[in-house]
């Protein structure tokens, strides 16, 4: 399994994005969303071949982060300019991926609310309208159903639109288009039309955004036949998945997370993509397999530190591909550890964890020493009050308890 990163080194190296005006210390957001950057947990750069560069910060006491999200680049990495690659934040990585693909293929265009002149409500499309013009970066009116439909219609002719939902929850209005037209047209036309569309947007529980703006749509979309779903969690895989999604002939839904946009990481300068159906091995281990995705990855890594202190050796896999599941990587892990814990932000009922539990039980039941545990968000609308909101999602102490229970 050659790493994409290494393989590309041999190929022609494309120049890195001309976008280099990011502020490494502070990002300016729209006043609607306030954002606080906390002292970070360790961060790991993971290559797709499974080699991991762990950058543990040692055992120094961390303040317990109940909303562990962003990481400040540790000073050691920032000062060593001899390291390859460049540092950027997750939203900039998405922007870089999008820009590179738009440079590469004139059929790629972006549609969404406030993506053009405003620069995108999370700055993912900042600067693109100026560079590519109004025909390729389109500000739409607030009409999700129809502009998603228009994107699908354009994709039928061969264009490759990237539809942005300002918040994933708004895409519920376009559910008919996504389910019936996007997912099914390739099948019902007998293979005549492909829909190379990318539908992306931030979702998940944010910082007291309220019930309607904290939705997790993975569970609703997961049974639509014909679409692929991926969730990014680091700048590295955000850029890689964005590029792979744009190049894919299938419709892809890319789930981002509102609280992860300010993660900083050093990513390669070369052109690379991440396989859309591959899971990422975050931390190899022996005792238990922890499957997670998106923001919960950071809660899990937080808990992993505590667990390591207590003597456990968890294997953490970021499943990344929500549809279809990477049962190969997951299966190999289950065969090794015989215990599975799923940590997700989706709802308990009918969420990704529920499907994953079913899939693992069906395929790997013989290898399990204990029933699969699934930690998900509570089946409640996300409350506004901060304390209540914290309890809605899975927190690191709960993960630690679950692993201890599982490993008895």
Partner 1 sequence: MALSYLRSSSSRSANLLKPLSSGLSLRSPISTDTTPITVETSVPFTSHRCDAPSRSVETNPKELLTFFRDMALMRRMEIAADSLYKAKLIRGFCHLYDGQEAFAVGMEAAITKKDCIITAYRDHCTFMGRGGTLLEVFAELMGRQAGCSKGKGGSMHFYKKDSNFYGGHGIVGAQVPLGCGLAFAQKYSKDETVTFAMYGDGAANQGQLFEALNISALWDLPAILVCENNHYGMGTAEWRAAKSPAYYKRGDYVPGLKVDGMDALAVKQACKFAKEHALKSGPIILEMDTYRYHGHSMSDPGSTYRTRDEISGVRQERDPIERIRKLILSHDLASEKELKDIEKEVRKEVDDAITRAKESPMPEPSKLFTNVYAKGLGVESFGADRKEVRATLP
Q: Does 366 bind partner 1 (CB under 8 A)?
A: no
For the chain, what is the radius of gyration of the CA atoms? 20
Q: Which of 84, 158, 210, 371 binds partner 1 (CB under 8 A)?
A: 158
Give the ranges where 209-268 is alpha helix by DSSP (H). 218-221, 235-247
Shortest reach from residue 177's CB to partner 1, in Å = 6
Q: Which of 74, 277, 313, 390 binds partner 1 (CB under 8 A)?
A: 277
Q: Which of 6, 55, 180, 306 binds partner 1 (CB under 8 A)?
A: 180
Q: Which of 35, 37, 72, 153 binds partner 1 (CB under 8 A)?
A: 153
Q: Does 237 bind partner 1 (CB under 8 A)?
A: no
Of the residues 213, 257, 287, 299, only one is catalytic, namely: 213
**Cα distance from N-terminal residue to C-terminal residue, the chain:** 35
Six-digit token pair at 405? 């229970």
Active site (annotated) includes residue 213: yes
The contact mask relative to partner 1 for 102-121 (x = CB under 8 A, - = no) is: -------x------------
Q: Does 187 bind partner 1 (CB under 8 A)?
A: yes
Give the ranges where 133-221 is alpha helix by DSSP (H). 144-157, 175-176, 185-188, 218-221
Judged by CB under 8 A, how many residues of this single chain contact partner 1? 66
Q: Does 364 bind partner 1 (CB under 8 A)?
A: yes
CB closer to partner 1 out of 41 and 317? 317
Q: Which of 42, 71, 177, 294 binds partner 1 (CB under 8 A)?
A: 177
Q: How many C-alpha atoms does 22 have within 13 Å on its Cβ side?
A: 24
CB closer to partner 1 out of 56 and 143? 143
Integer CA distances (angstroms), 281 to 30, 250, 355, in order: 34, 25, 20
The contact mask relative to partner 1 for 312-331 (x = CB under 8 A, - = no) is: ------------x-xxxx-x
Q: Quick check: 147 and 183 in contact, CB under 8 A?
A: no
User: Which residue pairs from 306-310 have beta carbons closer than 8 angstroms and sit at least 24 positions apart in sequence?
Assistant: 306/396, 306/400, 307/400, 307/403, 309/59, 310/400, 310/404
Q: Which of 30, 34, 79, 176 binds partner 1 (CB under 8 A)?
A: 176
DSSP label at 353?
Answer: H
Q: Quick check: 215 and 168 in contact, CB under 8 A?
A: yes
**Catalytic positions, written as ranges:** 144, 213
């Amino acid at each position: 399994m050659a790493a994409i990163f290494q393989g590309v080194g041999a190929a022609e190296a494309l120049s890195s994005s001309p976008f280099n005006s990011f502020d490494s210390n502070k990002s300016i957001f729209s006043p609607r969303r306030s954002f606080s950057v906390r002292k970070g947990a360790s961060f790991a750069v993971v290559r797709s071949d499974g080699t991991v560069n762990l950058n543990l910060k040692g055992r120094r006491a961390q303040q317990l982060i109940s909303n562990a999200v962003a990481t400040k680049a540790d000073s050691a990495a920032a000062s060593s300019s001899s390291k390859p690659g460049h540092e950027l934040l997750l939203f900039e990585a998405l922007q870089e991926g999008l820009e590179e693909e738009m440079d590469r293929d004139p059929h790629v265009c972006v549609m969404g609310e406030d993506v053009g002149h405003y620069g995108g409500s999370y700055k993912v499309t900042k600067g693109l309208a100026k560079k590519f013009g109004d025909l390729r970066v389109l500000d739409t009116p607030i009409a999700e159903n129809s502009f998603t439909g228009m994107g699908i219609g354009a994709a039928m002719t061969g264009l490759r639109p990237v539809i942005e939902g300002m918040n994933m929850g708004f895409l519920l209005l376009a559910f008919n288009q996504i389910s019936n037209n996007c997912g099914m047209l390739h099948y019902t036309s007998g293979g005549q039309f492909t829909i190379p569309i990318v539908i992306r947007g931030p979702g998940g529980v944010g910082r007291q955004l309220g019930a309607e703006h904290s939705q997790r749509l993975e569970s609703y979309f997961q049974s639509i036949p014909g679409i692929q779903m991926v969730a990014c969690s680091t700048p590295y895989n955000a850029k890689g998945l964005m590029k792979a999604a744009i190049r894919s002939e299938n419709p892809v839904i890319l789930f981002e997370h509102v609280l992860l946009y300010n993660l900083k990481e050093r990513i390669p300068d070369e052109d690379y993509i991440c396989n859309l159906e591959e899971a990422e091995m975050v931390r190899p281990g022996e005792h238990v397999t922890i499957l997670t995705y998106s923001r919960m990855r950071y809660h899990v890594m937080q808990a992993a530190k505590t667990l390591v202190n207590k003597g456990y050796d968890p294997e953490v896999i970021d499943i990344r591909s929500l549809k279809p599941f990477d049962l190969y990587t997951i299966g190999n892990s289950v065969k090794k550890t015989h215990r599975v814990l799923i940590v997700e932000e989706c709802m308990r009922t009918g969420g990704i964890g529920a499907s994953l539990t079913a899939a693992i039980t069906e395929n790997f039941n013989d290898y399990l020493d204990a029933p699969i545990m699934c930690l998900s968000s509570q089946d409640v609308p996300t409350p506004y009050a901060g304390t209540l909101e914290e309890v809605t999602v899975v927190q690191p102490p709960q993960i630690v308890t679950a692993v201890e229970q599982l490993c008895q």
